[in-house]
Structures are given as C-alpha cells and as structure tokens.
Structure 1
Amino acid sequence: MASRFHFHFFFSMFIILFTVTIASQCKYPPVIFNFGDSNSDTGGLVAGLGFPVNLPYGRTFFRRSTGRLSDGRLLIDFLCQSLNASSFLNPYLDSLTNSKFTNGANFAVAGSSTLPKFVPFSLNIQVMQFLRFKARTLELVTTAGLGNFINDEGFRNALYMIDIGQNDIADSFSKNLSYVQVIKRIPSVIAEIKNAVKVLYNEGGRKFWIHNTGPLGCLPQKLSLVENKVLDPHGCISNYNDAAKVFNEGLLHLCQEMRSELKDATIVYVDIYAIKHDLTVNATKYGFSSPLMACCGNGGPPYNYNIRVTCGHPGSQVCDQGSKFINWDGIHYTEAANSIIASKVLSAAYSTPRTPFDFFCRG
C-alpha cells in the first residue's frame, strides 16, 4: 500500500510540473468561453439557482465549497492553470463577485443538456447568454473605454469549449427508453451542438475545443440505480457505455464535417471517453482503488451511492484520502482523477487533429 501511495504522490507531482512547463507558450492573454454541464461547472448552478453545494465539496484544493461538484479542481481548472491564466474561469452567472471576466467566462451549469431547448440552462440558452455577454462587453469597451474588458479581437482569438451530452444520454435512459430509442435521440443532440458551433462561428469564433462524453456506465450512481443491468468485464453497464460510444462517433463525424464546412475554423475533438475508461479499467496503475466506488456517499461497497443520502447530506460519509478514488460523489470525478485526465488532454495524444491546448493563444 505504501508503494502505491508513493507512486500516486510522485505521479501527481509530475502532472503539476508538466502543466507548468507547457504554460509559457501563450503569446497573449488566453480567453476561453466554456459551454457545458457539471463536468465543467465552476459555480454556475450555485450562482444561478442558489442550489446548496457545501463541504466536503471543495475540501482538497479550495478548502471551501466553490460550487464545483468535486472535492477540488475540475478538468477545466487544470487546463486554465496550464496556460498561466490570471484566474480560474468564472461562472457567467456569478455577477455578485466577478464583474470583469478578463480571461473569458464559463456558461456551464450542472444538469445542463442540449434538449429540451430553451430550458435553463440548455446549450442553446448558454449560447444566448454568450451573445448577450459579448454584446454588452463590446458596448462597454466602446462607450466607456474599459480597456481591461475583452475586446473584439479577444472574442475572435478566444477558445470556444463545448463539453456536453452526458445528461442527454442519462436522461433518456432514466425515462425508461429502450437502447434503440436512446440511440434514435442522439442525432438531435448532435444537431444542437452543431447549431451552437455555427452560431459561435457566425459571431467570429474560429477556434473550437470539443470534448466527447465519458463512460456513463461506469459511474457509481448509474451502477447503484439501474436494475436488471448487464455488466461488461470491467463491471460497467454495457448499454450505457455503448450509447456513449454511439454519441461520440456522431460527434467525431460532426467535427470532421464542420472542418470541411467551416474552412477557416480549427475544430479539435478530444476523446475524453478513452481517457476516463482507461483510468477506470487500469485504476491500480494510476494508484487508485475501488474505481467504481464513490469517495463521498452512503451505503459502502460496492458503489457507496444512495440516492436518498447523497454526498454532503446528513448520513453521508466521506473517505479519508480522495487521492485513492476516481469517483467523488457517484457522478463526478475527484481532483486526483481530474489531474490525470488533464495531463492526458494536455499531451494532445487524444485530440483529433493532434493539437496542443494552447494553440489558440500562441499568436
């Protein structure tokens, strides 16, 4: 056990050093606009709806809850840190404490999906919020001469990140739709992502970073709640993961299609599924134990998830060392897992085309 702990400790230190060493490539301040769900929500749910997300959320890095659904930093936080960004990406909805958004804005809100449209905070609502944000920001730059706000060039050179789709698949299964029915809904989800990219492109965006969705069937929440499930050799729900793969294939095809259609745009597709699946099936290699069990929850092995007693609520328990767990609360990943996921993303080995994350700010 001690050797495993030391391996994980030194592996984590390598990741931190790795992200710092690549941070000097930006020629000008990086600007990022992110659209997504809880996987990249840095506080939008709390700011927008007042939804309580309390300790032990945030205990590892921030030492307090920041609205992130993890014990610490998310993948997007590590990506921003790799750029030496002046700060983490602030939630667009958090107007009480963040008014400048000099390095971009995060429109992601936990629970978001692409469908149904026009429901807070679906993808098209997030895009509409961006349009409002951009118009108001440029108005302030022009009329008030506020030079520290993002100007037109900043919006053109910004990176537009999209990380959404998981909830569309999960919600379909939760409505007791058959696998075939779930698959039939996927083209509509892909179409919404295409619409979002085209709107952002028509607004001048040219640099896109699009994450596919992870292995949904390996989440402790799904494993705990789904009855009559068929498990694969790794203990994950087969049809949930198969649906995620079908969605990912459609998203990859969409990115290929849009590269041909939007000639002067750079569209990078990132295989988050491969990274997270490898993390789960080869957990011991990365220093993790119980890859299908939540660190924070109720019920104990094998999944430690109880929908009536979720993380942070009375009756829930939290593990001593989150660094030994991949999953934090049954749905979301621990900071330790996110740090490894970030290192894989930053390697560009999982990107199509192979593109360094800082390509948009190199000049």
Structure 2
Amino acid sequence: MEFKLAMILLLILSCTRLFSATTDCHDPLIFNFGDSNSDTGGYSVANGIFGGNSPVGRKFFHRYSDRFCDGRLVIDFLCANVKAELLSSYLESLTPNFNSGVNFAVGGATVLPVKSNSFHLKVEVAEFHRFHARSVIFHTEGIKGMFDEDDFQNALYMIDIGQNDLTGAFLNSSSSKLEILQQIPDLITGIKEAVETLYKIGGRKFWVHNTGPAGCLPNMLARTKVGDPRGERDGVGCLKSLNEISQEFNTQLYHLCEELRTELKNTVVVYVDIYTIKYDLISNSALYGFENPLMACVGCGGPPYNAVMCEQTTVCGEDTNYISWDGVHYTDRANGVFAARIATTNYSTPPIKFESFWC
C-alpha cells in the first residue's frame, strides 16, 4: 500500500513538472559567438562589404545575405526550428533585429588573438558584456526591446569557434602536426575562460559545437603542397593529419564541457558533435543526393577541388548539389542537412533538444 501511494505521488509530481515545462515557456533568446560558420553579417559590416553581384545569398534570401553561403547557415535553420527571428550581427547599424538575440560571430575570428584579425573570442565576449550592461540599464529606463537579467539568464549561449586557429596553424608550413597539437590546450583554455565569463554575467545555458573535419575542406586540400609530409589522404580523400588535429581538439573540448557541467552550478552545457555530422555527409555524399563532395561551388581551378586563388571565379548552377560553397564554407542545402541531424539529438551530449531550452 505504501509502495502504491509512493508511486502515485511520484506520478503526480512528474505530471506537475511536465505541465510546468510545457506551459512556462519563454520566447527564444540566443547569443552566438564564433567565426564565419555562424557569422550573419559581422565580417561584412566590419569590412564594408555590400555584395554587388555576388552569388552569396542567392538561395532563400535572393539577395546578398552577409553570410559565407549561398543561403542559410546552420544557426539560421536552428533559429527557424524554434520560430526565432534570424539573428542580426552585433555590429549591424542598419535596422538590426535583436528580438531573438544577438550574433557576435565574425568571419575569420579565432579563439586566441592573431595579428591578421582584430576579432577573437575574448573580443566577442567583451562586446556581449557591454551589450548586457547597457541593455539592463535601458530596460530599467523603460526602453522597449531591451533585455533584463531574467532574459539573460534564460537565454542560450552558443559557441562555434576554433576552426581558424587550427587551419591557420596548419597553413604555416613550419608548423608540424605535433606543434599544432601542442597548441590545442591553449585554445581549450580560451573557450573555458569565455564560458566562465558568460556564466559570471548570468549565462546558464550553453550550446557548444565542436569543429568540423577541416581536412575535408577543398581550400585546405588545394593549398597543401605536393610533398608536404602532412598531405596524406584518408579513404575519402581528406587530409588525414588535419582531421586528426581536429579530432584531438574535439576530444579536449568534450572533456572541457564535462568539466564545466561539474564546476558551474545550475548550468546546462550541451556538446554537439558537428565533426561526425559533416564527415558522414562528405563520405556518403551520393546517398544524400550530393555531388563532388570535395569540390567548391565557387572558386577557380576546376576539378578536383576548384579552390585555388584567382580573381575570376566560376560559380556552379543553382540546380547543382554541392556540399562546399567556396572551399571553406558549406552550401544552404548541406547546412540544412547538418541542422536536421542536430535536431535528432543523436550527436548531442547530453541529448537535449534545441527547443527545450525555452520550455
């Protein structure tokens, strides 16, 4: 009898929690930090680029979209999945839309500072710190569209960065594989410090993408010189050593996320295995209806990579099914596949649905 009563009470408690979870929902609010894989305008604004006749954005937007893609990025698909408005760059001055959050990502950004780029993770977090402080003040003054402390605490903080650190080091011909591997702990420390700073400001929900198979990027394949000891290909045709470097970065990032879940109280830290998702599409491209998996849609040189540097680039037709857009970034269709795989939670640790952060 006591056992049955306990089970009934447990069932009632579970139903109460479920009801609360499904009714006490918040409008999606996302703050994103990263590089060109999730940049929705930062690079274009910072460098005064406005497109002209560029094929960028020809799908979905049907105009220059300030993205490194012919259409949508993974973050655009994820926002659409939770009915959030597409994120504007923090740097955008012309009709920015911050209703569903802010995008601090900038193309070319790295985890650690480099001479060739003013934007790195610490700068992006500093920009957020300013946005947070000013928004809270303006909210108390009654200015519409600003967020309060509760909003920031209920928001999701997305991080997708590290690719440029790894590829930049790899393109330095004097860097051996071992030397690049030895730099990874510093990158992980940089990401850890960023999350800890965001936590101190109020962040409690984190969504962290690992880095993709950089050795499969047509740009990296085309730029690896003949005779380079790091140029060995795997069975798919990707650079074996660079992918191994990416995998080591991901292993250490995975352990960091485990560590953060323990160290930071009342937090959720989701690690998303983007590497496996992307490598699966590239290695099984025909099954997904794609062609030329290691060849860029936009570029020069023709097969096998169409990714050498030149002034007059060629562009594949809109009806073609390429995975790589420009040798470094992915096409709208490929990004749609990636987002759909993310939505399954099969590649997330813990397996939490993206939309569950607001309900």
Report if TM-score (shorter chain) is over 0.5: yes
Shift of 1:300: 1.0
Unpaired segments ≥5 residues, structure 2: 1-21
Aligned residue-pair number: 331
Give the letter aligned to residue 216 of structure 2: C
Match of 1:116 in 2: 113
C-alpha separation in 2, matches of 1:88 and 1:183: 36
141, 144, 151: which one aligns with 2:139: 141
Shift of 1:148: 3.0
Change (3 A) 1:136 1:287: same
Local SS of the residue matching 1:78: helix
Match of 2:12 in 1: none
8 Å contact kept, 1:26–1:83: no
Match of 2:295 in 1: 293
C-alpha separation in 1, matches of 2:144 and 2:284: 49
Match of 1:65 in 2: 64
Is 1:260 the counterpart of 2:262 in the alignment? yes
Change (3 A) 1:81 1:279: same
What per-residue deviation string (whole Å, max 9, x for no partner) do you get for residues 155-211 of structure 1? 110000000000000111122210000000000000000000000001111000000
Shift of 1:66: 1.6
My pick for the range that moved more, 295-304 or 70-79, is: 295-304
Local SS of the residue matching 1:199: helix
Shift of 1:102: 1.9
8 Å contact kept, 1:46–1:67: yes
Shift of 1:316: 1.1
Match of 1:105 in 2: 102
280, 283, 286: which one aligns with 1:284: 286
8 Å contact kept, 1:160–1:205: yes
> Identical aligned pairs, as a percentage?
47
Give the letter aligned to residue 109 of structure 1: V
Give the letter aligned to residue 286 of structure 1: Y
C-alpha separation in 2, matches of 1:26 and 1:33: 21
Match of 1:173 in 2: 170
Local SS of the residue matching 1:324: coil
Shift of 1:138: 1.0
What per-residue deviation string (whole Å, max 9, x for no partner) do you get for residues 242-297 of structure 1? 00000000000000011111131000000000000000000001000110001111
Structure possessing the higher relative contact order (Cα contacts under 8 Å, 6 or more residues apart)? 1
Match of 1:190 in 2: 188
8 Å contact kept, 1:72–1:334: yes
Give the letter aligned to residue 254 of structure 2: L
Which entry has the higher C-alpha Rg, 1 or 2?
Answer: 2
Shift of 1:26: 8.7
C-alpha separation in 1, matches of 2:256 and 2:277: 20
C-alpha separation in 2, matches of 1:31 and 1:156: 10
C-alpha separation in 2, matches of 1:59 and 1:25: 39
Local SS of the residue matching 2:334: helix
Match of 2:36 in 1: 38
Change (3 A) 1:117 1:140: farther
8 Å contact kept, 2:261–2:267: yes
C-alpha separation in 2, matches of 1:263 and 1:185: 29
**Aligned ranges for residues 305-320 of structure 1 at < 5 Å?**
305-309=307-311, 315-320=312-317
Backbone CA RMSD of aligned residues: 1.6
Local SS of the residue matching 2:333: helix
8 Å contact kept, 1:294–1:303: yes
C-alpha separation in 1, matches of 2:196 and 2:132: 16
Change (3 A) 1:350 1:138: same
C-alpha separation in 2, matches of 1:245 and 1:211: 13
Unpaired segments ≥5 residues, structure 1: 1-23, 310-314
Local SS of the residue matching 1:202: helix
8 Å contact kept, 1:117–1:123: no
Match of 1:161 in 2: 158
TM-score (norm 2): 0.89
Match of 1:224 in 2: 222
Local SS of the residue matching 1:34: strand
Shift of 1:25: 9.3
Is 1:340 the counterpart of 2:340 in the alignment? no
Which stretches of structure 1, 4 residues or longer, exceed 6 Å deviation after superposition?
none
